Homo-oligomer: A and B are copies of this chain.
Amino acid sequence: MGDGSSAMTMILDGKVHAERMLGEVTAAVEARAARGLRPPCLAVVIVGDDPASHVYVRGKVAACARTGIRSVERRLPADTPQAELDGIIAALNADPLVDGILVQLPLPAGLDSKRALHAIDPAKDVDGLHPVNQGLLLEGLPGLRPCTPSACMNMLRAHGVELKGIRALVLGRSEIVGKPMALMLLEQHATVTIAHSRTRDLPALCREADLLVAAVGRPGMVEGSWIKPGAVVVDVGINRVEDPALGEVIFAADPGKMKTLREKGGVLCGDVRFQEAAAVAGAITPVPGGVGLLTIAGVMANTLQACQAR
């Protein structure tokens, strides 16, 4: 950074906010125990050997241990037939001791992830991706809400970001982040624009945004010059960059990242060019260390909520 404006930039530390959320869940689980109630239980279903998926599942299981939530893992081989997956989900739906069910995505080729997600009992759908839960969100009614946008909202609230009347731009229109995030911001009275790959003159649109949420999965797509001075930037993208030529472009202001790329053959970065954006923004989440950690905390909060609601 190293210029005057950067001194004003607040780094929104995902670890701090995730710890706060996990601490709240832990306290609630302890309060249940004090009342003689069993701990919440999360069942995680993982199919196949995708290394990244196993990393995520380990993170979730560790967060369960940390908060006192009981976790059950169902590890299935990559060639598991759909009918068997359906049967396992049905059994978990019927199990009175299971409060939350999470099917780790992506599923191996040949398995229908929509079918799996729709088979989960909405009351146990801690990912918040079942149509019933998405519909309740659209209606502004209580339900299990998608973890990532829900945890981002929790962070914005804790950070005291005023959302009423602000211009918010959500970049990306997935049902996991973009669309539910837009609905949650709308619920808090932001004026919300949803932009995507077909959007024209995106830089100008971004420059109007008091809050920019980037969730497209394109490394370093959002340049520093696109950020409105003082804006809050939430970077949901987690991308691995290995190409030095791409690195030279998107890490022009970030010699540290470029060094890591050269030394390790790859580096994680968000959808936003962090150093460029941090020089302009009022607050920004880093990658890694930002929204990724919040998502796991969101799963724990949803598991507790599902348990309390039963």
Residues of A in contact with B (beta carbons under 8 Å apart): 114, 130-141, 143, 164-165, 167, 173, 175, 179-180, 182-183, 186, 189, 191-196, 198-200, 205
Asked whether B186 lies within 8 Å of A194 as measured between CB atoms, the reply is yes
A165 close to B133 (CB less than 8 A)? no
Q: Is chain A's binding surface mostly helix, strand, loop or mixed?
A: mixed
Q: What are 28 A-B contacts defined by CB distance under 8 Å?
A: A114-B139, A114-B141, A130-B135, A131-B131, A131-B135, A131-B136, A131-B138, A131-B139, A131-B143, A132-B132, A132-B135, A133-B135, A134-B135, A135-B135, A138-B138, A139-B175, A164-B198, A165-B198, A167-B200, A182-B182, A186-B196, A189-B196, A191-B195, A191-B199, A191-B200, A191-B205, A192-B193, A193-B193
CB distance from A221 to the nearest CB of B (A): 16
Shortest C-beta distance, A209 to chain B (Å), equals 11
Closest to A133 in B: B135
What CA separation (Å) do A114 and B143 show in the bound complex? Answer: 15
Report the Cα distance A164→B199, complex, angstroms.
Answer: 8
With CB as the reference atom, state the residue of chain B lying closest to A189: B198
The 9 closest A-B pairs by CB, nearest first: A131-B135, A135-B135, A134-B135, A193-B193, A189-B198, A191-B199, A134-B138, A165-B198, A131-B136
